[in-house]
Each structure stands twice: as C-alpha cells, then as structure tokens.
Amino acid sequence: MREVLAQAAFQLFLERGFEQTTVDDIVARAGVGRRSFFRYFPSKEDAVFPDHERCLADMTAFLAGVGDAEPVDAVCDAARLVLRMYSANPEFSVQRYRLTREVPGLRTYELSVVRRYEQTLAGYLRDRYGESGDGALRAEVIAASVVAAHNNGLRTWLRSGGEGDAESAVDHALGLVRQVWGSAPAQGASPAATDGDVVVMVAAKGAPMWRVVQQIESVIGQG
C-alpha cells in the first residue's frame, strides 16, 4: 500500500504539479481513504521520498555490523547505500530530482533527510573516536565531508539525466574524503603517496620542532 500511494502521489505531482495536488487527489487515484494515506505518510512531502526511511534503517544496520573496519572506509561504504537506492530506479530518481529543484518546500524537506544521514554517520564515528578531545569534532567534520562528496557525485549523475556511471562519480568523490581523512590510501591515489622508504625517528620529549625537522631533513638528504 505504501508503494501504491507513493506511485499515485508522484504521478499526480508530475501531471498537475506538487502544490496543485491534494491528499484527496492522491487517495482518489490510489483508490483508498485518507486514513490510509496518513497511516504511511505524515505529509505530501514524505510521499516524494518513500524510500529514505528504509535506507536510513539499512545504513544504521550496516554500520552496526562493520566491526573494527577502518572508520572512514565504513562511513564511505555506508553512503554508497544511498547511491544504490537512487541508481536502482534511475527514471524515478531523475524525475524526483527535477521536481525537488522546482518546489522549494521539497528542497527544504530533502535537506532535512540529508541531515539525518549525516547524523547517522556522525553518531557511528563518535562511537569510534570518542567524545573527548577532538573526537566529536572529527566525527562531525568527516560525516559532513562524506555526505557532501557523495551528494556531489550523485547530483552530477542526476543532472545528466541518469546517464553514465553513477558509482564512478561517487567513488571518485568519496576517494578524496578517504585520501584526506582515512588511515589507508584512497583508491586511485598516486603511487607516490604510498611508495618509497619509511623514515622512523625517535625524538626526546619536548625537543624543539626545528630540531626534529632538521634531523628528518638530514636523514632524507642521505637517500
């Protein structure tokens, strides 16, 4: 019934416009009563995004089961669940993107949904990094970076009308996040970032930074 209502609503939004479509119009098209609509959707806006609740639940379950995976890798992989949801139905996703761009209220609603994804990722990262020191700050910044990178790749694909490889665009964007914040080299990173000798140096506690830099430079200069 949820899918029937969502499909009826979206068809009407495309035919008549979002503002011109009422809940009564939707339930009439679906052949059910108003109570049935509000049992599944609190508002018309919710009917435009019927799949996000399930995706949020899938993301939460995914993060709960990743164990001791590298945290940045884990949240990047979790973000890809959203991409897969969109790419599973390209025609609907592109139409929804265009509709959302046309209706300010839907854009505001979409931002609230995006924020929930960001909060889910940040909550996982806070559990991994801790709340003390910069742990909470790091969690918020990385979560925001992952969401921004994912959405950049996703919207590039949506603006193209669903043409091309959505995963490639998103993977490239998330690769930048992994390169900056991850402990492992990002996919596609330059070999120069990982190849070469490793220098390990022991310095006395409290040694001035200029002395540490000088010692490192002397070792590198011997290579």
pLDDT digits (tens, 9 = 90+) for 105-163: 999 999 999 999 999 999 999 999 998 778 999 999 999 999 999 999 999 999 999 88
- Decide if 156 contacts 169 (C-beta within 8 A): yes
pLDDT at 188: 38
Q: Where are the alpha helices (DSSP H) in 65-196?
A: 71-87, 90-102, 104-129, 135-159, 166-181
Does the pLDDT of residue 202 top 80, yes or no? no
pLDDT at 79: 97
* 48-106 confidence digits (pLDDT tens): 998 999 999 999 999 999 999 999 999 999 999 999 999 999 999 999 999 999 999 99
The CA-atom distances, in angstroms, between 171 and each of 24, 91, 176, 181, 186 are 42, 21, 9, 15, 10
